[in-house]
Amino acid sequence: MMVGLPLSFLPPRDAIRLREGEVHLWRLAADTPWESWLPRLYNASKPSRGRHGKPQDPSGALAWAVSDSGPWLAVAVARGGPLGLDLECDRPLRQRARLLKRCFTAREQAALGPCGDRLILRVWTLKEAVVKAHGRGLAYGLKRIETRLVGGWPVLDRLEGEAGPAERWAVFTFELAEGCDATLLTPVPAPVLRCFAPLGCTDRG
């Protein structure tokens, strides 16, 4: 598991080829019409939308995952999958106590109760990434996914049901942009993660 992974973003011109064993992660503005240009970069057709709205490559050659929050959009693509991706920007949580009770295990509630909202959202991104990768969405049951904290970031500790066990997944947790945290989930072995963003949103031009 890659916990609190520091990211360095490259410009689109460096996304020359998507190799086996790689995941390309894109940081985009939330209103970016990514479906109209990003698939063409990979010689792919525009994705369709499957159950729960997850983008799907019509040929089945690529796996896509998308999440947005606040001003940002994250898009991941790989040759093979499945992929799970969730992004959450820091914000006050409404009905915090109810959320913890309904979606987190007793051990998680004890660990997160004294914590700030941002840390709860970090853990939420991991749980969401799991159910997105599996494909059932929240119907899977978030309490079947248990995490623990390592250095202020969640680690997948226990995974019940058909998505399990936890060891079958490689987990990347990271800050996509200031105040916005994300989790990317892929099958093991862990892929090489390469990160891209349009000019003006990169770490180098």
The helix (H) or strand (E) run that includes residue 9 is strand 9-10
Residue 136 has pLDDT above 90, yes or no: no
Prediction pTM value? 0.93
Q: Judge whether residue 137 has pLDDT over 80.
A: no
Per-residue pLDDT for 201 more than 70? no
Distance of alpha carbon 6 from alpha carbon 150, whole angstroms: 15
Triad 199, 202, 205: Cα angle to 5°: 60
Measured distance CA(103)–CA(161) in Å, rounded: 16
Q: What is the mean pLDDT of the chain?
A: 92
Label the pairing between strands 192-196 and 22-29. parallel
CA separation, residue 140 to residues 105, 133, 162, 168 (Å): 14, 11, 9, 17
The whole-number pLDDT of residue 26 equals: 97
Q: Give the H/E segment covering residue 106.
A: helix 106-112
In the chain, the amino acid numbered 11 is P
Alpha carbon distance 112, 122 (integer Å)? 11
Closest CA to 67 of 107, 118, 127: 127
Q: Is the peptide bond before 189 cis (omega within 30 degrees of 0)?
A: yes
Q: Which candidate, 204, 202, 169, places its Cα nearest to that of 2?
A: 169
Which pLDDT band, with edges at 50, 70 and 90, does 202 fall under? low
Closest CA to 24 of 72, 112, 83: 83
* Structure tokens, 77: 């693509």
Percent of the chain at pLDDT exceeding 90: 81
What is the pLDDT at residue 199? 61
Of 49 and 176, which is predicted with more confidence?
176
**Confidence band, pLDDT 50/70/90 cuts, at residue 204:** very low
196 three-state secondary structure: strand
Say what the pLDDT of residue 16 is.
Answer: 79
The full set of domains in the chain, from first to last, is 2-196 (3.90.470.20)
CA–CA–CA angle 13, 15, 18 (5° rounding): 160
pLDDT above 70 for 180: yes
